[in-house]
Each structure stands twice: as C-alpha cells, then as structure tokens.
Structure 1
Amino acid sequence: MQESVVAARTRIARAARAAVIPLALIVSLFFLWGVANSLNDILIKQFKKAFELSDFQAGLVQSAFYLGYFVFALPAGMFMRRYGYKGAVVAGLALYAAGAFLFWPAASVHTYGMFLLALFVLASGLAFLETSANPLMTVLGPPEGAARRLNLAQAFNPLGAITGVLVGRHFILSGVEHTPAQLAAMAPAAREAYLASESAAVQVPYLVIGLVVCLWAVLVLLARFPRTRADADAAASTAMQGGPATTLRRLLGNGRFVFSVAAQFFYVGAQVCVWSFLIRYAQDSVPGMPEKTAADYLTVSLVLFMIGRFAGTALLRKVAAAPLLAAFAAANVPLAALAVLVPGMTGLYAMVALSFFMSVMFPTIFALGLEGLGDDARKLGASLLVMSIVGGAALTALMGLVSDLAGIHKAVAVPLGCFAVILAFALRARRRGR
C-alpha cells in the first residue's frame, strides 16, 4: 500500500516538473498580448497626428483590432478542437508575427488602411492565443481554483501592457505636436515629411516585436506539452454530447453563460474605451499637457491594473469570484460617473483609478462563464467569450463618436454603462452561487 502511494507521488512530481516549461511559455503569452493591446492606445494618439484624424477615425484602430478577435474566435476554437492547445498557440503566434511585420510596408506607403489591415491580422493571432490559453489555465488544476489560476496568469497581462506603453512612449511618440494652424502654415514638403516621419516611427518597434514572437513560436513548437485530461477525453466527450451544433444549442440555453458573453462584451468595451482615450482625456483636462506626460497617466493606470490583478488573486483565496466581481464593478460605477460629471484633474484621477477595479473583471467573467461546462462546451464557450471581445471595436468607436459630438468627458458615459451591466451579471452570478 505504502509503495503504491510512493509511486503515485513520484509520478505526480515527475508530471509537475515536466509541465513547468510549457506552463511558463503559456503564461508568457498573457504578457505578449498585453504588449500588443496597450500599444494600440499609443497608436491612436500617433495615428491621430500622422493622418490628421478625428476621434472617431482614430478609434478605428481598436475597431480593426477587435474585429480580428470576432472573426477568428470560432475558427480558432475549431482549430483547437482539431489540433489541440499547442497547435492553436503556434498558429496564433505565427499570425501575431505576420501582423507585426506588416507595419513596415504600411509605414513605407503611409496608408492608414494598411495599418488597420496589419492590426486585423495581428489580432487574428491573438484570437487563437486567447481561445487556447484562457481555457487551458482553467483545466490545469481543481475546478474550484479556476478563477484564481486564471487571474494569476492574467496578472502578467498588465505587465506586458506597461511594457507596451513604455515602448510606445520612448520609441513611437516623438513629443513633437503641431496645431492645425501650424500644420497649415508649413510648406507642403515639410508637412508631408513630418507626417511621414510620425508614421514611420512604428516600424522598428513592431519589427522587433515580430521577431520576438517568432522566437516564442519556435520555443512552443519544440516544448513537450503534457496532455490534460480535457485533451484525452475530447473525442469521447464529443461523441457523447453531439457535434458543435448540439453543443452550441446547449450553451445558448444556459442563461448564465449567455449573460457572461454579454458581460465580457461590455467589459472589454469599457477597458478599451478607458485606455484608448485616457491620453486624450488627460490632455483635455489639462490644456497644454504634453503627450508624453499624458502617457505617464496611462502607465500609472496600468500599474494599478497589475496591482489589482495580484490583489484580486489573493482575495480569491478567501472571497468567492462573483461577490468580488460585484464589489469591483460597484466601485467603478461612481468613479466613471465622477469622470463624466467633474472633468479636470478630479475626473482624470477617477479615470486612472478605474483600472485597479477593472483588473479582475476579464478572467473572473471568463471563469464564471465556463464554470460547470463539459470539455466540449468549454472549448466552444471559450471561443464565444473571445468573440465577445468585439465589444472593444464597437464601443470604442461609439465613444469616439460621442467625444466628437459632446466632448471627451461626456463620452465616458459609454464605459459607465458597461460597468453597470457587469455589476448586474455579478449580482446574478452571486445569487446563483448561493
């Protein structure tokens, strides 16, 4: 009896050691897509200068980016069902690198539409990464710890986001800003040279990112991934529960899951709205504030976001996921209202503070949405939850439109409404948990 216990412990220890490298590679993915996401916030400011865009037009950066998520989330899920988690990760990294490399020719021809295409391709790769990495973290351990594990892995996402903003601040933003009157007074050749130089500033950073992502794809390809029980049972699960159409009907009949998809749509919309227009809000709150100083407020908000992720992970050891989500959403509703009603430094501080309480929302909604689902439903459900990221495309464009019509501080009403929806979802999930 004792020998069998010792043998079992030895096998578990051996399996744990074998999983260290794959787990490190997977957790690093959260860092890599954090870099890509936060650089969009810099690109909105940069392209606004380089192409003389309105807030609505600049917001199309996020629309193109999150449309890639929407279009490729289901194909990524089907690809993962066929080739497994590792295959989906490698495919995602390859598309990520391809999108990053497209920034070079887009800057060479100085065409905004080509930049949007590059972002779409890059985001299609991230759809593969998120569709595979998020559910993988929920099955690598006991079900009751899924939200905590996913929050811990997601804590590396804001670290990547901070890195992205710092890269953008130092290597993309030039600090040279001309008013429309100054641009109109410039000689045509000088004006074109200025706009072209602002466009070309993105070439080297994205080339380096593409090379790093290629290296990571090779490392993942060479690493030996342990087979999870979910992988081993996938075929049997599909046979017992029916094909994708049957699974989809079951998911759409699950009220909590459907609400989680809606909550994720509004959460991603809120997050992207807040970060995309934080530099714009800061410069509007303090006229004359340099763009690099405004970018520092974005960096602070991302630091708070990272602190909130680690704090949330610790709190989830003592507090259930739904009540914690409800508390954080309840904090953000008055903060967003303050940013709407009290523009200026007070509103700016409230905008920055939103990030701390946004920290636990994405992984907690994701885990609550997948809770209690079988493996086949979990993979398809993960695809639908990743599709809901299109909220970043729709709601950022909406916020840009409201900003053009009524001012940036009133446009914060868009994320305010999003936080109210998240609060409603958390309260419903809490009641069901009880």
Structure 2
Amino acid sequence: MAIVPQNIGTGIDKGNAPLVTRSYLLAFALVASLFFMWAIANNFNDILIKQFQKALDLTRMQSGLVQTAFYFGYFTIALPAGWVMTKVGYKNGILIGLGLYALGALLFFPAANVQAFWFFLIALYVIAAGLAFLETAANPFVTVMGPKATAAQRLNLAQSFNGFGGFLAPFLGGALIFSGVEHSAQEISLMTPAALNAYRASEAQAVQITYLGLAAVVLALAALIHFTRFPEISEDGETALENTDRVRSIWSFSHLRWAVIAQFFYVGAQVGIWSYFINFAQDVVGVSEKSAAHYLGFSLIGFMIGRFAGTALMRFIDPARMLLIYALISAALCIVAILTNGWSAMIALGLTSFFMSIMFPTIFALGVEDLGAKTKLGSSLIIMAIIGGALFPPLVGFISDRAGTIQAGVTVPLVCFIIVAFFGFSMNRRHLAKAV
C-alpha cells in the first residue's frame, strides 16, 4: 500500500526527458525491488492465517491477530521512522528497514520450534516495523532519480512492482508453506496425542525454510544497496507555515477528517477480505488449500490490472466519482458473496480486488487536496489510518466463528465499502460545487 505523491511533474513538458537518470539506473532498480519485497511480506500474511489455524489450532478470530500485529507495527513505527530518517538519512533508513525485515523473518525459525503464536506475532511486528521504514523512504528516492517531468511515470513504474509482488505472493506462499495435508475435525479427534503433536509441529515448521529464504534475499538486497550510489534528498521547501495555516487546525478540513475515516475502513475491508479469502474459497467451493491460494492470486492479478485500468479511466472520470462507483460495486459484490453459494459467491468476492485497486491512493489524494502547507501532516494522518487493517480481520473472524459460516464475516467489508462510498459521494459533490 505504497503512497504515491500526486501530480508530480504535472504541467511540465516532458519532451525527451529520460525516465531515470543513467547514473541512478541501478539505484532505481533496487528501490523498485523494495516495492516488490513489502508486497511479498504483506500478502504472505493471508497464507499464514490459514497455516496457523492448522498448525496452532487457532480459531478464525485468533488467526486474524496476524494482521493486528502486522498493521500495529506499521501504525506505531511510521512516524518514528520518519524522525529517524531525518537524523540518519533515507539510505540508512532503508538499511535499518531491511535489517528489521530480515530479523523478523529469522524469528520465524525459533517461533516455529516452540510453536508459540505470540512469538510469531512478535516476528510479524518486527517485519512490519522494517516495512514502515522502507515505505517512508522509497517514494522520495523514486522522485529524485530522474527529471521532475517524468517523476510520476517513475512512481507508477515502481508501484507496478508492488502489484506484481502482491499477486505472486499467494502462489509462492501456497507452494512453499502449504503441505496439502488437511485433516477434518473428526480425523483429528481420532488421532493419538503423539500423532497430533507431530502433525501440528510439522505444519508449524513449514514456514521456517520459506522465511529463512526471505531473510537471505532481504540481506542480499541490503548489501547491494549499501554499496550502491544513491542521490541525496534535499528537504528544501520545508519552510515555516504561513500565519493563516498556523492558526487553522488540521482537523478543520472536513474532507481530511472524512478521508482518514474512509481510509481506516477501506484498509479494514481490504485486509479483512484477503485474510480470509482462502477460508472462504474452501468453505463455499470445497477446494484444497493450495487451490484456494491460487484463486487468491488470481484475485490479486485483478487488483494489479485494476490499478492500470483505473489510472487510464481517471483521465475521463473524476476520481471522486470513480471512487463512489467502485465502492458501491464492491458493496454489491459483497452482498452477492453473502447471499449466494458456490462459485458465484467466490467469484464475487474475488472481483472486489479489481474495484479496491484505486481506493487507497484515491482516498489519499482526495484527503490531502487543498491542504497547502499542512499537506505533510495530513498525509501522516491518512497513513496512520491503516490501523484499520489491524482491527477488522479479528472482527471478521469473530463474526464467522459465531455465525458458523465465513460468509457472515463478509458483512464487515460490506459496511466498510458503504462508508467509503459516502466519502466518494461527498468529495464528488465538493468537486461539482468548485466547478460551478
């Protein structure tokens, strides 16, 4: 969920300006790979939720704490990461982030050995802390690795690696982590204690090699970045606020308040759907865990395609109106997923990924609209709203456990999309009023 600064390079004739300055080609490639790497970590969580249900005998509500630990890491470390980078620089900030990422991945090894869920949650928190550093630094670097006129193109190119990692993660995670061995509750009840312990230990240890490999890749990337020349990022332009901006509270901007609320509910909807998509596919269609992971991957391909399609459509449709339409369609798809059965329900839920694709950056862009000197503070508040990803997945799991059906849990993202639609509606009215 990388934040893409809006309208960089707008109004500047691009001419024959290069996309990336030649001396920074390697640096750009390495930074673009960061977008890929944090998408892998984010979307591996959807595999872990199902895996921990098997390995640690967790309820769906309990397994949702995977996302709680992860997004709480983002929430608590995002602002400190920005402060640290003002002291040590963005490149060193990236190295700190990669170090934390690798440390969290390495902690999976002892966590699997002791089969302690709390240990896994600590490891996930450490990984997310590292990603907070990476996301804070990546976009500024991308903007200065070439001419201003092509900055937006560079950001879109880097963002495409995030989408690629997002859809690849379920296929990789499903192949590397899922054993394909699934026992029914009746079969488990007939196992001897020794056999059951051996089964759960084997499933817990299935994550070890995958996360050790992930740590190795991250450390290799850190070494490459350490020895690569990066541009200096100037903080000029961060002048004192105008007197009027000093007096006016950031919360006096009603559209920013609603953007924070909308982002909170959007991230909750996205993480809630993806976290339990494998459970949903298995329950409503009856496929294996590996097949369910592949279907999640296909859904995330739609997310990637949706970003490209949405960017093109916004040339002709106001972003606020498009957000309203996409949120209403997503809500309708949730209703179909709740009320129907079989493939129609699973396809409906899978299609929400396409329509969610534009929501995060669009809510962000609309929220910081017309903030002037307070744009940076407004941006931080919207970023912190991703805490919704920590709070909503356990709620989806709780409702599913209580109702006895995973489809009941989809009511949570349904409500979230309705709130996002309201924000799109209010911003569309604001744009229409300004156009008069």
For the aligned pair, the TM-score class normalised by the smaller chain equals 0.7 to 0.9
Match of 1:402 among 391, 399, 402: 399
Distance 1:92 1:119 in 2: 13
Distance in 1, matches of 2:210 and 2:426, equals 44
The alpha carbon displacement at 1:323 in A equals 2.9
Which of residues 138, 148, 157 is equivalent to 1:133? 138
Distance 1:165 1:65, change over 3 A: same
Residue 281 in structure 1 maps to residue 280 in structure 2: yes
Work out whether 1:196 is the aligned partner of 2:201.
yes
Q: Distance in 1 between matches of 2:156 and 2:387?
A: 21
- By how many angstroms is 1:76 displaced? 1.7
Q: Which amino acid in the other structure matches residue 236 of structure 2? A: A
Aligned partners of 1:420, 1:191: CA distance in 2, in Å?
44
Partner of 1:232: helix, strand, or coil? coil
Choose which of 362, 365, 373 in structure 1 pairs with 2:363: 365
State the 1:109 CA deviation.
1.3
- The separation in 1 between residues aligned to 2:409 and 2:248, in whole angstroms, is 37
Paired position in structure 2 for 1:124: 129
1:385 is matched with 382
- Counterpart CA distance in 2 for 1:150 and 1:390 is 24
In structure 1, distance between residues paired with 2:143 and 2:321: 19
Quote the residue 1:5 is aligned against.
Answer: none
Task: Report the CA distance between 1:148 and its aligned residue.
Answer: 7.5
Is the partner of 2:58 in helix, strand or coil? Answer: coil
SS at match of 1:155: helix
From the superposition, tell whether residues 104 and 15 of structure 1 become closer, same or farther in structure 2 (CA, over 3 Å).
Answer: closer
Distance in 2 of aligned mates of 1:397 and 1:12: 48
Stretch of structure 1 that moved more, 380-389 or 46-55 = 380-389
Could you tell me how far 1:194 is from its partner in structure 2? Answer: 0.8
Which is further off, 378-387 or 420-429?
Answer: 378-387
Contact 1:131 1:386 (8 Å CA) reproduced? no
Distance 1:145 1:431 in 2: 32
Q: Relative to structure 2, which stretch is displaced further, 81-90 or 160-169?
A: 81-90
Q: Which residue of 1 aligns with 2:159?
A: 154
Q: How far is the alpha carbon of 1:166 from its aligned partner?
A: 1.5
Farther-moved stretch of structure 1 (194-203 vs 364-373) = 364-373
TM-superposed deviation, 1:346: 1.3
- 1:247 positional shift: 7.6
- Change in 2 beyond 3 A, CA 1:29/1:318: farther
| C-alpha contact 2:108 2:120 (8 A) present in aligned 1 | yes
Root-mean-square deviation (Å): 3.0
Quick one: distance in 2 between partners of 1:77 and 1:431?
35
TM-score (norm 2): 0.86
Amino acid at match of 2:338: V
Q: Contact 1:93–1:214 (CA<8 Å) still a contact in 2?
A: yes
Any residues of structure 2 matched to 1:166-205 within 5 Å, and which? 166-205=171-210
Which residue number corresponds to residue 213 of structure 2? 208
Match of 2:241 in 1: 241
Distance across 2 between alignment mates of 1:179 and 1:337: 29
In structure 2, the partner of 1:272 is 271
Report the equivalent of 1:33: 38
Q: 1:82 aligns with which of 87, 92, 106?
A: 87
- Structure-2 separation of matches of 1:385 and 1:148: 23
The answer on whether the counterparts of 1:337 and 1:416 sit within 8 Å (CA) in structure 2 is yes
Q: Aligned-pair distance for 1:384?
A: 2.6
Contact 2:78/2:136 (<8 A) preserved? yes
Instruction: Verify the 8 A CA contact 2:44 2:169 in the aligned structure 1.
Output: yes
Tell me, in whole angstroms, the C-alpha distance in 2 between the residues paired with 1:131 and 1:422: 25
* Whole-Å separation in 1 of the counterparts to 2:134 and 2:375: 16
Residue type of the alignment partner of 1:352: G
Map of 2:236 onto structure 1 = 232
Higher helix share: 1
Structure 2 gaps, min length 5: 1-13
State how many pairs are aligned.
416
Q: Cα distance 1:400–1:149, how it changes in 2: closer, same or farther (>3 A)?
A: farther
**TM-score, structure 1 length as denominator?**
0.87
What is the Cα deviation at residue 25 of structure 1? 2.6
Aligned to 2:183, the other structure's residue is in SS state coil
Q: Against the structure 1 CA distance between its residues 186 and 15, is the aligned structure 2 distance closer, same or farther, given a 3 Å change threshold? A: closer
Distance (whole Å) between structure 1 residues aligned to residue 111 and residue 425 of structure 2: 46
- Percent identity, aligned pairs only, is 49
Letter matched to residue 399 of structure 2: V
Amino acid corresponding to residue 205 of structure 2 in structure 1: A
1:383 offset after TM fit, Å? 3.2
**What one-letter code is carried by the residue in structure 2 that aligns with 1:335?**
L
Give the corresponding residue for 1:347. Answer: 345
C-alpha contact (below 8 Å) 1:172/1:202 kept by paired residues: yes
Partner of 1:258: 257
Relative distance call for 1:178 and 1:30 in structure 2 (3 A) is: same
Kindly state the Cα deviation for residue 145 of structure 1 after the two structures are TM-superposed.
Answer: 9.3
**Does the 8 Å CA contact 2:169/2:297 hold for their aligned counterparts?**
no
CA distance in 1, matches of 2:256, 2:229: 33
C-alpha distance in 1 between matches for 2:141 and 2:383? 14
Q: What's the CA shift for 1:417?
A: 1.1
Local SS of the residue matching 2:45: helix
Tell me the equivalent position of 2:417: 419
Closer/same/farther in 2, CA of residues 404 and 149 from structure 1, 3 Å limit: farther
Q: Which residue is equivalent to 2:305?
A: 307
Separation in 1, partners of 2:267, 2:143: 20
Equivalent of residue 98 in structure 1, options 103, 116, 133: 103
Whether the 8 Å contact between 1:140 and 1:228 is mirrored in structure 2 is: no
- How far apart, in 2, do the equivalents of 1:388 and 1:93 lie? 23
CA distance in 2 between counterparts of 1:135 and 1:402 reads 41
Q: Kindly indicate whether the alpha-carbon contact (under 8 Å) linking 1:151 and 1:312 is maintained by their aligned counterparts in 2.
A: no
Q: Deviations along 1:259-303, whole A, 9 cap, x unmatched?
A: 22222111111111111111111111124x211122221111011
Q: CA deviation at 1:139?
A: 8.2
Instruction: Give the secondary structure class of the aligned counterpart of 1:241.
Output: coil
Q: In structure 2, do the counterparts of structure 1 residues 109 and 41 end up closer, same or farther at CA, with 3 Å as the change threshold? A: same
CA–CA distance in 2 between the matches of 1:391 and 1:248? 30
SS of corresponding position for 1:223: coil
